[in-house]
Structure formats: structure tokens, C-alpha cells
Amino acid sequence: MSRKPEPPPGTAPGVPDDDARALREALAGVRPLTVDTVPLRRPAPPPVPQQRVRDEAAVLREMVLLDPGAGEMEMGDELNFKRGGVQHAVIRKLRRGEIAVQAHLDLHGLTSPEAKLSLAGFLQHCLGNGLRCVRIVHGKGNSSPGKVPVLKPRVAHWLAQREEVMAYTSARPVDGGTGAIYVLLKVQR
């Protein structure tokens, strides 16, 4: 028995040579897919934390509306505020940590409403006990989206609105640096 001759590689049986050559030329450089399946639809976008978006918008609104009253406020990495009548020498001592801190409050992990209530209660306690200098830890915002602090500008704003707060300044690195502030309270007579 005689066998039929096999077609040359790359041609199909019964396909004329011209067509086979044209197909080979058209498919030159084509490579097979390395993936077995192709996804039919795009993956869903990551969820957007709506409350965080609202909180950040509120912070920006508050920062625009900052009105520390009759005082000077500086915002940036370091916070500084003083009411009129507070001597520069007192501010210098406060900034250097030369005024003894009599109490401190740590606001890490609190929401803005919780922090505001905690701060108000803390200041009331300090005034009731005749405390003059306190430290408040608000954090640097390293855990916040974009590493933008949320509590830091709010605490600065809340303190500047309180008449019993005479001045504040960012703490020394040993006491929290730009993640904390020393607060000088008005002496109650």
C-alpha cells in the first residue's frame, strides 16, 4: 500500500499552496496567548471610605475658617499660638520645655468628636485644679491617608477658640515633637 505524501509543515490538507503561503505570511510574528482565560469584566474599584472623605473635607473647611480671635497662630509642621499680652520670653520657655508639664492628654485613636469632648473635659479638669502647663498629644498623622494629620489642625483650632488657653507650641522631640503641643493655661484667680 502506498501512503499519501504529507503536506509540508504549516499547511492544512486540501489547501492550495498559494493560500497556505498567504496564511503563513499573514500570521508571521503572531504568538500564542500565555494566559488560558481572559477576564470578561474589569475588577470592581476599591471601596471609597465615605466617612473619611467627609472628615477630610470638614478639616479643610475648618482650616479655612480658622479664627483664633485676638492671637497669632502659625500652622505648618510646628504649631504656635499666643494671645496678645503673652510675653515672648514666656513663649520661648514654653517651646524649650522649661515650664513644668503638670498633666497630659493623649488623643491617639479617637475620632474628632471624641477628641473634642475629651479635650474639653481635660481642660475643665486642669482649670479646676489650677494647672498652668499641660501637654496634649494629637499625633503626626502618619496613619492618615496621605500622611495628612486629621486631629492636629482641629486641636489647634479648638484650643485657639478657648479663652483659657493663653498660648501653645509644638513640643520638644522628647515629648512628642510635632505630634504634641505644650499648652499654657490662664491662671484662675
Extract the C-alpha cell encoding 59: 478639616
pLDDT, position 63:
54
What was the pLDDT predicted at 38?
67
pLDDT tens for each residue of 154-178? 999 999 998 999 999 999 999 888 8
Q: What does the pLDDT look like over 133-149, one tens digit per residue?
A: 999 998 887 766 666 78
Mean pLDDT of the chain: 81
Mean pLDDT of 81-101: 90
CATH numbers and ranges of domains, the chain: 50-185 (3.30.1370.110)
* pLDDT over 50 (residue 68): no
Residue from 118, 136, 134, 109 nearest 186 by CA? 134
Task: Note if the pTM is more than 0.75.
Answer: no
User: What are the pLDDT digits (tens) for 92-123?
Assistant: 999 998 999 999 999 988 888 899 999 999 99
- Looking at beta carbons, which pairs linking 119-128 to residues 24 or more positions away fall under 8 Å? 119/155, 119/158, 119/159, 123/162, 123/164, 123/165, 123/185, 126/102, 126/185, 127/164, 127/185, 127/186, 127/188
| pLDDT band for position 75 (cuts 50, 70, 90) | low
Structure-model confidence comparison of residues 9 and 167, the more confident one: 167
